[in-house]
Structure 1
Protein backbone atom coordinates (compact mmCIF):
# COMPACT_ATOMS: atom_id res chain seq x y z
CA UNK A 1 0.00 0.00 0.00
CA UNK A 2 1.71 3.18 -1.21
CA UNK A 3 -0.68 5.85 0.05
CA UNK A 4 -2.83 6.45 3.12
CA UNK A 5 -2.77 4.70 6.50
CA UNK A 6 -0.96 1.37 6.71
CA UNK A 7 -3.41 -1.32 7.82
CA UNK A 8 -1.03 -4.19 7.10
CA UNK A 9 0.85 -3.81 10.39
CA UNK A 10 -2.33 -3.83 12.46
CA UNK A 11 -3.73 -6.69 10.43
CA UNK A 12 -0.61 -8.77 11.06
CA UNK A 13 -0.69 -8.00 14.79
CA UNK A 14 -4.35 -8.85 15.27
CA UNK A 15 -4.18 -11.86 12.93
CA UNK A 16 -1.84 -13.85 15.16
CA UNK A 17 -3.99 -16.34 17.16
CA UNK A 18 -2.22 -15.68 20.48
CA UNK A 19 -2.49 -11.92 20.10
CA UNK A 20 -6.13 -12.22 19.04
CA UNK A 21 -6.86 -14.19 22.22
CA UNK A 22 -5.14 -11.52 24.31
CA UNK A 23 -7.14 -8.72 22.70
CA UNK A 24 -10.49 -10.46 23.02
CA UNK A 25 -9.76 -11.26 26.68
CA UNK A 26 -9.25 -7.54 27.28
CA UNK A 27 -12.64 -6.76 25.72
CA UNK A 28 -14.01 -7.63 29.15
CA UNK A 29 -12.81 -4.18 30.23
CA UNK A 30 -10.55 -5.46 32.99
CA UNK A 31 -6.81 -4.82 33.12
CA UNK A 32 -4.90 -8.11 33.28
CA UNK A 33 -1.33 -9.05 34.11
CA UNK A 34 1.11 -10.50 31.60
CA UNK A 35 0.86 -13.94 33.24
CA UNK A 36 -2.94 -13.86 33.10
CA UNK A 37 -2.80 -12.91 29.43
CA UNK A 38 -0.24 -15.63 28.73
CA UNK A 39 -2.77 -18.11 30.11
CA UNK A 40 -5.53 -16.62 27.93
CA UNK A 41 -3.29 -16.88 24.87
CA UNK A 42 -2.01 -20.38 25.68
CA UNK A 43 1.64 -19.33 25.40
CA UNK A 44 4.61 -19.04 27.73
CA UNK A 45 5.18 -15.90 29.78
CA UNK A 46 8.21 -15.02 27.66
CA UNK A 47 6.25 -15.34 24.41
CA UNK A 48 3.37 -13.31 25.85
CA UNK A 49 5.79 -10.57 26.87
CA UNK A 50 6.95 -10.24 23.27
CA UNK A 51 3.37 -10.09 21.99
CA UNK A 52 2.41 -7.45 24.57
CA UNK A 53 5.38 -5.26 23.67
CA UNK A 54 4.48 -5.36 19.98
CA UNK A 55 0.85 -4.43 20.64
CA UNK A 56 1.79 -1.71 23.11
CA UNK A 57 4.15 -0.15 20.56
CA UNK A 58 1.39 -0.26 17.94
CA UNK A 59 -1.02 1.63 20.18
CA UNK A 60 -3.39 -1.28 20.80
CA UNK A 61 -2.58 -1.74 24.49
CA UNK A 62 -2.04 0.50 27.50
CA UNK A 63 0.40 -0.66 30.16
CA UNK A 64 -0.67 0.37 33.66
CA UNK A 65 1.81 0.27 36.52
CA UNK A 66 0.78 -0.22 40.11
CA UNK A 67 3.70 -0.69 42.44
CA UNK A 68 5.81 -3.55 41.14
CA UNK A 69 2.97 -4.92 39.05
CA UNK A 70 2.19 -4.19 35.42
CA UNK A 71 -1.32 -4.52 34.01
CA UNK A 72 -2.49 -4.33 30.42
CA UNK A 73 -5.74 -2.91 29.06
CA UNK A 74 -7.02 -1.90 25.64
CA UNK A 75 -5.63 1.48 24.69
CA UNK A 76 -9.08 3.05 24.34
CA UNK A 77 -12.61 2.94 23.03
CA UNK A 78 -11.55 2.83 19.38
CA UNK A 79 -9.66 -0.43 19.89
CA UNK A 80 -12.73 -2.01 21.49
CA UNK A 81 -15.02 -0.86 18.66
CA UNK A 82 -12.59 -2.20 16.06
CA UNK A 83 -12.39 -5.60 17.74
CA UNK A 84 -16.16 -5.96 18.17
CA UNK A 85 -16.62 -5.03 14.49
CA UNK A 86 -14.10 -7.69 13.48
CA UNK A 87 -15.88 -10.25 15.64
CA UNK A 88 -19.16 -9.34 13.95
CA UNK A 89 -17.63 -9.65 10.50
CA UNK A 90 -16.05 -13.01 11.37
CA UNK A 91 -19.36 -14.33 12.71
CA UNK A 92 -21.21 -13.12 9.61
CA UNK A 93 -18.71 -14.83 7.32
CA UNK A 94 -18.99 -18.10 9.23
CA UNK A 95 -15.51 -17.94 10.76
CA UNK A 96 -16.52 -19.47 14.08
CA UNK A 97 -14.61 -21.40 16.70
CA UNK A 98 -15.12 -25.14 16.37
CA UNK A 99 -15.55 -25.67 20.10
CA UNK A 100 -18.45 -24.28 22.07
CA UNK A 101 -18.95 -24.32 25.81
CA UNK A 102 -21.55 -23.68 28.50
CA UNK A 103 -20.63 -19.99 28.68
CA UNK A 104 -21.54 -19.37 25.04
CA UNK A 105 -25.27 -18.99 25.68
CA UNK A 106 -24.61 -16.56 28.54
CA UNK A 107 -22.25 -14.55 26.35
CA UNK A 108 -24.84 -14.28 23.60
CA UNK A 109 -27.50 -13.22 26.08
CA UNK A 110 -25.53 -10.44 27.80
CA UNK A 111 -21.84 -9.56 27.88
CA UNK A 112 -19.45 -6.68 28.30
CA UNK A 113 -18.16 -5.08 25.13
CA UNK A 114 -15.25 -3.07 26.56
CA UNK A 115 -17.42 -0.90 28.87
CA UNK A 116 -20.99 -1.24 27.58
CA UNK A 117 -23.70 -3.91 27.34
CA UNK A 118 -23.73 -6.24 24.36
CA UNK A 119 -25.53 -9.41 23.35
CA UNK A 120 -29.31 -9.86 23.12
CA UNK A 121 -29.82 -7.68 26.20
CA UNK A 122 -27.70 -4.87 24.74
CA UNK A 123 -29.60 -4.97 21.46
CA UNK A 124 -32.92 -4.95 23.34
CA UNK A 125 -31.86 -1.89 25.33
CA UNK A 126 -30.84 -0.04 22.17
CA UNK A 127 -34.05 -0.98 20.32
CA UNK A 128 -36.13 0.18 23.27
CA UNK A 129 -34.34 3.53 23.47
CA UNK A 130 -34.99 4.10 19.77
CA UNK A 131 -38.61 2.94 19.95
CA UNK A 132 -39.42 5.20 22.91
CA UNK A 133 -37.76 8.19 21.26
CA UNK A 134 -34.90 8.43 23.73
CA UNK A 135 -32.43 8.05 20.86
CA UNK A 136 -32.90 9.32 17.34
CA UNK A 137 -31.16 6.93 14.96
CA UNK A 138 -30.38 7.54 11.31
CA UNK A 139 -28.32 4.52 10.40
CA UNK A 140 -25.23 4.94 12.60
CA UNK A 141 -25.86 8.60 13.44
CA UNK A 142 -27.29 8.47 16.97
CA UNK A 143 -28.55 11.43 19.02
CA UNK A 144 -29.82 11.50 22.60
CA UNK A 145 -33.11 13.45 22.55
CA UNK A 146 -34.60 15.70 25.21
CA UNK A 147 -37.04 12.89 25.99
CA UNK A 148 -34.06 10.59 26.34
CA UNK A 149 -32.40 12.90 28.84
CA UNK A 150 -35.53 12.69 30.95
CA UNK A 151 -35.64 8.93 30.57
CA UNK A 152 -32.07 8.36 31.75
CA UNK A 153 -32.60 10.80 34.62
CA UNK A 154 -35.46 8.58 35.85
CA UNK A 155 -32.98 5.70 35.87
CA UNK A 156 -30.65 7.75 38.07
CA UNK A 157 -28.15 8.93 35.45
CA UNK A 158 -27.29 12.64 35.37
CA UNK A 159 -27.66 13.69 31.70
CA UNK A 160 -24.91 16.28 32.18
CA UNK A 161 -22.44 13.53 33.03
CA UNK A 162 -22.72 12.03 29.54
CA UNK A 163 -22.90 15.41 27.79
CA UNK A 164 -19.63 16.58 29.33
CA UNK A 165 -17.73 13.40 28.55
CA UNK A 166 -14.92 13.64 25.99
CA UNK A 167 -16.42 10.62 24.26
CA UNK A 168 -19.39 10.59 21.88
CA UNK A 169 -22.62 10.47 23.90
CA UNK A 170 -24.09 7.71 21.73
CA UNK A 171 -22.29 5.43 19.36
CA UNK A 172 -23.52 2.49 17.30
CA UNK A 173 -21.60 -0.75 17.83
CA UNK A 174 -22.32 -3.81 15.69
CA UNK A 175 -23.07 -6.78 17.92
CA UNK A 176 -21.14 -9.85 16.76
CA UNK A 177 -23.67 -12.41 17.99
CA UNK A 178 -26.91 -10.57 17.17
CA UNK A 179 -25.45 -8.81 14.09
CA UNK A 180 -27.47 -5.76 15.00
CA UNK A 181 -26.66 -2.51 16.77
CA UNK A 182 -26.10 -2.13 20.48
CA UNK A 183 -25.28 1.12 22.26
CA UNK A 184 -21.73 2.25 22.97
CA UNK A 185 -20.32 5.67 23.87
CA UNK A 186 -20.61 7.57 27.14
CA UNK A 187 -24.31 6.73 27.48
CA UNK A 188 -23.76 3.02 26.84
CA UNK A 189 -21.10 2.92 29.55
CA UNK A 190 -23.27 4.90 31.99
CA UNK A 191 -26.23 2.57 31.47
CA UNK A 192 -24.16 -0.55 32.14
CA UNK A 193 -22.72 1.03 35.30
CA UNK A 194 -26.27 1.84 36.42
CA UNK A 195 -27.40 -1.75 35.79
CA UNK A 196 -24.63 -2.88 38.15
CA UNK A 197 -25.47 -0.17 40.72
CA UNK A 198 -29.11 -1.23 40.76
CA UNK A 199 -28.04 -4.86 41.33
CA UNK A 200 -29.95 -5.99 38.26
CA UNK A 201 -26.92 -7.93 37.04
CA UNK A 202 -23.35 -8.82 37.95
CA UNK A 203 -20.23 -9.66 36.03
CA UNK A 204 -19.41 -13.34 35.77
CA UNK A 205 -16.32 -14.24 37.84
CA UNK A 206 -14.44 -15.00 34.63
CA UNK A 207 -14.94 -13.92 31.05
CA UNK A 208 -17.26 -11.28 29.62
CA UNK A 209 -20.71 -12.57 30.51
CA UNK A 210 -23.15 -10.32 32.38
CA UNK A 211 -25.54 -12.35 34.54
CA UNK A 212 -28.96 -10.88 35.34
CA UNK A 213 -30.80 -11.88 38.48
CA UNK A 214 -34.43 -12.95 38.12
CA UNK A 215 -35.68 -9.69 39.64
CA UNK A 216 -33.07 -7.75 37.71
CA UNK A 217 -34.24 -9.21 34.41
CA UNK A 218 -37.82 -8.18 35.19
CA UNK A 219 -36.72 -4.67 36.14
CA UNK A 220 -34.52 -4.38 33.04
CA UNK A 221 -37.34 -5.41 30.72
CA UNK A 222 -39.69 -2.94 32.42
CA UNK A 223 -37.15 -0.14 32.03
CA UNK A 224 -36.49 -1.00 28.38
CA UNK A 225 -39.82 -2.20 26.91
CA UNK A 226 -40.26 -3.28 23.31
CA UNK A 227 -43.29 -2.46 21.18
Structure 2
Protein backbone atom coordinates (compact mmCIF):
# COMPACT_ATOMS: atom_id res chain seq x y z
CA UNK A 1 0.00 0.00 0.00
CA UNK A 2 1.33 3.43 -0.97
CA UNK A 3 0.80 6.16 1.61
CA UNK A 4 0.54 9.95 1.38
CA UNK A 5 1.54 11.79 4.56
CA UNK A 6 0.21 15.31 5.19
CA UNK A 7 1.72 17.00 8.25
CA UNK A 8 -0.37 20.11 8.98
CA UNK A 9 1.48 22.82 10.89
CA UNK A 10 0.98 26.46 11.79
CA UNK A 11 3.72 27.60 9.40
CA UNK A 12 3.86 24.87 6.75
CA UNK A 13 2.01 21.80 5.55
CA UNK A 14 4.57 19.11 4.73
CA UNK A 15 3.63 16.48 2.16
CA UNK A 16 5.46 13.25 1.32
CA UNK A 17 4.62 9.78 0.10
CA UNK A 18 5.99 6.27 -0.17
CA UNK A 19 7.51 7.27 -3.53
CA UNK A 20 8.45 10.85 -2.58
CA UNK A 21 9.99 10.66 0.89
CA UNK A 22 11.57 14.13 0.85
CA UNK A 23 8.63 16.35 1.88
CA UNK A 24 7.29 19.27 -0.10
CA UNK A 25 6.44 22.39 1.93
CA UNK A 26 3.24 24.38 1.47
CA UNK A 27 2.95 27.68 3.32
CA UNK A 28 0.07 27.62 5.82
CA UNK A 29 -0.61 30.23 8.54
CA UNK A 30 -3.72 31.84 10.06
CA UNK A 31 -5.54 32.12 6.72
CA UNK A 32 -5.41 28.44 5.80
CA UNK A 33 -8.69 26.51 5.78
CA UNK A 34 -9.24 22.81 5.22
CA UNK A 35 -10.32 23.51 1.65
CA UNK A 36 -7.16 25.57 1.02
CA UNK A 37 -5.08 22.67 2.33
CA UNK A 38 -6.88 20.13 0.14
CA UNK A 39 -6.57 22.26 -2.98
CA UNK A 40 -2.86 22.87 -2.49
CA UNK A 41 -2.07 19.28 -1.55
CA UNK A 42 -3.91 17.95 -4.59
CA UNK A 43 -2.06 20.39 -6.85
CA UNK A 44 1.34 19.63 -5.30
CA UNK A 45 0.85 15.87 -5.59
CA UNK A 46 -0.68 15.73 -9.05
CA UNK A 47 0.50 12.52 -10.70
CA UNK A 48 1.49 10.86 -7.40
CA UNK A 49 0.16 7.38 -6.72
CA UNK A 50 -1.17 6.57 -3.23
CA UNK A 51 -3.86 4.40 -1.67
CA UNK A 52 -4.09 5.89 1.83
CA UNK A 53 -3.50 9.21 3.57
CA UNK A 54 -2.14 9.96 7.05
CA UNK A 55 -3.08 13.44 8.25
CA UNK A 56 -1.12 14.91 11.16
CA UNK A 57 -3.38 17.60 12.66
CA UNK A 58 -2.54 20.25 15.31
CA UNK A 59 -5.30 19.38 17.75
CA UNK A 60 -7.53 16.56 19.01
CA UNK A 61 -8.82 14.18 16.34
CA UNK A 62 -10.96 11.14 15.63
CA UNK A 63 -9.82 8.67 12.99
CA UNK A 64 -11.74 10.47 10.23
CA UNK A 65 -11.22 14.13 11.14
CA UNK A 66 -10.53 16.90 13.67
CA UNK A 67 -12.57 17.29 16.84
CA UNK A 68 -11.67 20.96 17.43
CA UNK A 69 -10.61 23.92 15.31
CA UNK A 70 -6.86 24.67 15.23
CA UNK A 71 -5.38 27.60 17.15
CA UNK A 72 -2.90 28.73 14.48
CA UNK A 73 -4.96 28.21 11.30
CA UNK A 74 -8.32 29.46 10.01
CA UNK A 75 -11.59 27.81 11.05
CA UNK A 76 -13.51 25.24 9.00
CA UNK A 77 -11.62 22.02 9.74
CA UNK A 78 -14.24 20.32 11.91
CA UNK A 79 -16.98 18.66 9.88
CA UNK A 80 -15.15 19.04 6.57
CA UNK A 81 -15.55 15.97 4.32
CA UNK A 82 -11.98 14.76 3.82
CA UNK A 83 -13.24 11.51 2.29
CA UNK A 84 -15.07 13.47 -0.40
CA UNK A 85 -12.02 15.63 -1.01
CA UNK A 86 -9.89 12.53 -1.64
CA UNK A 87 -12.34 10.02 -3.17
CA UNK A 88 -11.32 6.39 -3.10
CA UNK A 89 -8.50 6.94 -0.60
CA UNK A 90 -8.31 5.43 2.87
CA UNK A 91 -7.86 8.18 5.46
CA UNK A 92 -6.61 8.30 9.04
CA UNK A 93 -6.11 11.34 11.25
CA UNK A 94 -3.65 11.51 14.11
CA UNK A 95 -2.57 14.43 16.27
CA UNK A 96 0.52 15.96 14.64
CA UNK A 97 2.62 15.61 17.79
CA UNK A 98 1.59 11.96 18.05
CA UNK A 99 2.66 11.39 14.45
CA UNK A 100 6.09 12.87 15.10
CA UNK A 101 6.39 10.90 18.32
CA UNK A 102 5.47 7.68 16.56
CA UNK A 103 8.23 8.25 13.98
CA UNK A 104 10.85 8.72 16.71
CA UNK A 105 9.67 6.12 19.22
CA UNK A 106 12.26 3.53 20.26
CA UNK A 107 10.50 1.86 23.18
CA UNK A 108 9.63 2.41 26.82
CA UNK A 109 7.76 5.42 28.16
CA UNK A 110 8.48 8.51 26.06
CA UNK A 111 7.19 12.07 26.27
CA UNK A 112 7.21 14.03 23.03
CA UNK A 113 7.16 17.84 22.97
CA UNK A 114 6.90 19.61 19.63
CA UNK A 115 8.26 23.15 19.93
CA UNK A 116 7.34 24.94 16.74
CA UNK A 117 4.71 27.59 16.04
CA UNK A 118 2.81 26.20 19.01
CA UNK A 119 3.46 23.36 21.45
CA UNK A 120 2.47 19.80 20.59
CA UNK A 121 2.59 17.02 23.15
CA UNK A 122 2.18 13.27 23.23
CA UNK A 123 3.00 10.35 25.48
CA UNK A 124 3.86 6.89 24.22
CA UNK A 125 3.54 4.48 27.10
CA UNK A 126 4.97 1.06 26.31
CA UNK A 127 3.66 1.21 22.75
CA UNK A 128 0.31 2.91 23.39
CA UNK A 129 -0.05 6.45 22.01
CA UNK A 130 -1.71 8.96 24.33
CA UNK A 131 -2.16 12.35 22.61
CA UNK A 132 -1.95 15.21 25.13
CA UNK A 133 -3.19 18.81 25.05
CA UNK A 134 -0.74 20.65 27.31
CA UNK A 135 -0.14 23.75 25.21
CA UNK A 136 -2.90 25.94 26.62
CA UNK A 137 -2.68 24.94 30.27
CA UNK A 138 -1.56 27.81 32.52
CA UNK A 139 2.16 27.84 33.33
CA UNK A 140 3.07 31.08 35.11
CA UNK A 141 2.49 34.85 35.08
CA UNK A 142 -0.89 34.32 33.44
CA UNK A 143 0.68 32.66 30.39
CA UNK A 144 0.46 29.12 29.08
CA UNK A 145 3.15 26.56 28.32
CA UNK A 146 2.82 27.41 24.63
CA UNK A 147 3.23 31.13 25.28
CA UNK A 148 6.57 30.39 26.95
CA UNK A 149 8.12 27.83 24.62
CA UNK A 150 6.17 28.22 21.38
CA UNK A 151 7.24 30.66 18.69
CA UNK A 152 5.62 33.63 20.43
CA UNK A 153 7.70 32.97 23.55
CA UNK A 154 10.90 32.68 21.53
CA UNK A 155 10.25 35.97 19.75
CA UNK A 156 9.16 37.78 22.92
CA UNK A 157 11.94 36.63 25.25
CA UNK A 158 14.92 35.79 23.03
CA UNK A 159 16.81 32.53 22.59
CA UNK A 160 18.65 32.47 25.93
CA UNK A 161 15.56 32.89 28.12
CA UNK A 162 13.54 30.65 25.81
CA UNK A 163 16.10 27.81 26.12
CA UNK A 164 15.97 28.05 29.91
CA UNK A 165 12.19 27.78 29.83
CA UNK A 166 12.35 24.76 27.53
CA UNK A 167 14.69 22.97 29.94
CA UNK A 168 12.52 23.84 32.97
CA UNK A 169 9.34 22.69 31.28
CA UNK A 170 10.96 19.50 29.99
CA UNK A 171 12.06 18.61 33.53
CA UNK A 172 8.64 19.48 34.98
CA UNK A 173 6.63 17.50 32.45
CA UNK A 174 9.02 14.54 32.45
CA UNK A 175 8.63 14.25 36.21
CA UNK A 176 4.84 14.65 35.97
CA UNK A 177 4.49 11.91 33.34
CA UNK A 178 7.10 9.57 34.88
CA UNK A 179 8.85 9.02 31.55
CA UNK A 180 12.06 7.24 30.65
CA UNK A 181 12.89 9.76 27.93
CA UNK A 182 11.85 12.99 26.26
CA UNK A 183 11.95 13.58 22.51
CA UNK A 184 11.90 17.17 21.26
CA UNK A 185 10.56 17.91 17.80
CA UNK A 186 9.13 20.82 15.87
CA UNK A 187 10.88 23.52 13.91
CA UNK A 188 12.60 25.17 16.88
CA UNK A 189 14.03 22.07 18.56
CA UNK A 190 17.20 22.62 16.52
CA UNK A 191 17.81 25.85 18.49
CA UNK A 192 18.50 23.91 21.68
CA UNK A 193 22.13 23.44 22.71
CA UNK A 194 22.89 21.22 25.71
CA UNK A 195 20.16 18.79 26.66
CA UNK A 196 19.87 16.79 29.90
CA UNK A 197 20.43 13.05 29.94
CA UNK A 198 17.42 11.22 28.55
CA UNK A 199 16.33 14.13 26.33
CA UNK A 200 17.08 14.27 22.62
CA UNK A 201 16.07 16.11 19.45
CA UNK A 202 14.19 14.13 16.83
CA UNK A 203 15.01 13.96 13.15
CA UNK A 204 13.13 16.14 10.67
CA UNK A 205 11.85 12.96 9.03
CA UNK A 206 10.06 11.69 12.14
CA UNK A 207 6.62 13.04 11.20
CA UNK A 208 6.79 11.44 7.77
CA UNK A 209 7.98 8.11 9.19
CA UNK A 210 5.21 8.28 11.79
CA UNK A 211 2.66 8.74 9.03
CA UNK A 212 3.92 5.60 7.32
CA UNK A 213 3.98 3.65 10.60
CA UNK A 214 0.36 4.55 11.27
CA UNK A 215 -0.65 2.18 8.48
CA UNK A 216 2.23 -0.30 8.65
CA UNK A 217 1.42 -1.61 12.14
CA UNK A 218 -1.51 0.36 13.62
CA UNK A 219 -2.49 -2.40 16.06
CA UNK A 220 0.85 -2.17 17.87
CA UNK A 221 0.34 1.50 18.72
CA UNK A 222 -2.90 1.43 20.67
CA UNK A 223 -5.28 4.31 19.96
CA UNK A 224 -3.01 5.94 17.43
CA UNK A 225 -5.76 7.58 15.42
CA UNK A 226 -8.04 8.68 18.25
Whether TM exceeds 0.5 here: the answer is: no
Q: So what's the TM-score if we normalise by structure 1?
A: 0.28
Higher Cα Rg, which structure: 1
Q: So what's the TM-score if we normalise by structure 2?
A: 0.28
Q: Which has the higher contact order (CA 8 A, sep 6+)?
A: 2
